[in-house]
Amino acid sequence: MKKKLKPLSKQTVVIVGASSGMGRVTALEAARHGARVVIAARNAAALESLAARIVREGGEAEVVIADVSDHAQVENIAERAKARFGGFDTWAHFSATAIYSTFSDLQPEEFKRVIDVNLTGQAYGAMVALRHLRHKGRGAIVFISSVEGEVSMPFHSAYAASKHGVDGMFDALRLELAHANSSVSLTIVRPTGVNTPFFTNARTKIGVKPRPPKPIYQPEHVAEAVLFAAENPVRELYVGGAAKAMVLGKRWFPRLMDAYLLSSGFSGQRTRQPKESTAPTNMFTPETADERIHGDYSSISKRHSCYTWLQTHPSTCALLKGLLLLIGIGWLSERLDLWDRTEARTKAERAVRRTRRRWS
């Protein structure tokens, strides 16, 4: 079935994990495009300040306090959306947590918490959203995975496991929806390192504050991808060309990718700023009331992502592919023509030599 999605200006968009970073900027951009937004997270103060900003800019927002590891609280997000706006059209799920640690230093409750938030929480969101959107007849669910859904980083065994799980769940659900000829669109977004407060607020057992590995992209690139998926049925979107390169490297050259991660994966995730494992984090409770969109790495983050832009501008991408194809055909034709002329000249020279030998 050809899926038809509403323009953002006529949508209600649920943003789960909207208190900071990628979720916060996506909510702002959705509202600026005319969408009504339902913003959910654990941090009430951060959500209230976001809602106030949206209203000041002329938008509408509903605030819902929710911990995604509790199914009842996730269901409440949908109920509040129905009560305020009559339902929703897009569900985008950003909530995530992490701990930087070698696997041997992880505690069972830490590993479980990462899985509960990143994987189980996203599953709860998809369950709730799918029931509503099937009843409505159409809509979009946007999974936020990571390049670590396919390429695991050191110190991130729990996080990588959760994102691998998200990718597996997405693939199964995608096939089920296709088999059912469903009108619900399903998209997975895979960012690489993004400059958000996520790294500052993560629990760490590596002795220092963690950081995203380079290259680092800005959260606006993720918002661009998510809002594109809200209007356009597309299977997957990579945020940053580095994300796609890493995935292809893992698939085609696994030993080379292992060598790369051994050389840069450990040092590339460490800063020189000491941080104890007992420092406040947002893993179990929103202790760090961080309302920022951008993290601590703006000075070294990429302002533009050509790869992401091309994915979200398919007509331009198709035009460029067509031009490259024409250039390639022209080049090949010229090479073949040159080959033909060379071959003809060679044959003529051979004929002349044969004639000379015959008459000599």
Indicate which residues carry an active-site annotation: 159
> 10, 63, 75: which is closest to 36 by C-alpha?
10
| DSSP characters over 290-353 | ---SS-S-GGGEES--HHHHHHT-HHHHHHHHHHHHHHHHHHHHHHHHHHHHHHHHHHHHHHHH
What's the rounded Cα separation, in Å, for the pair 164 and 161? 5
29 contact partners, CB below 8 Å, separation of at least 6: 220, 223, 224, 227
Length of the chain equals: 360
Written as six digits, the tokens of 353 are 């030599």
Q: How far is CA 20 from CA 15, 31, 38, 49, 63, in A?
A: 11, 16, 14, 11, 14
Distance (Å, whole) CA 189 – CA 62: 24
Q: Both tokens of residue 22? A: 């990628």
Q: What is the DSSP letter of 265?
A: T
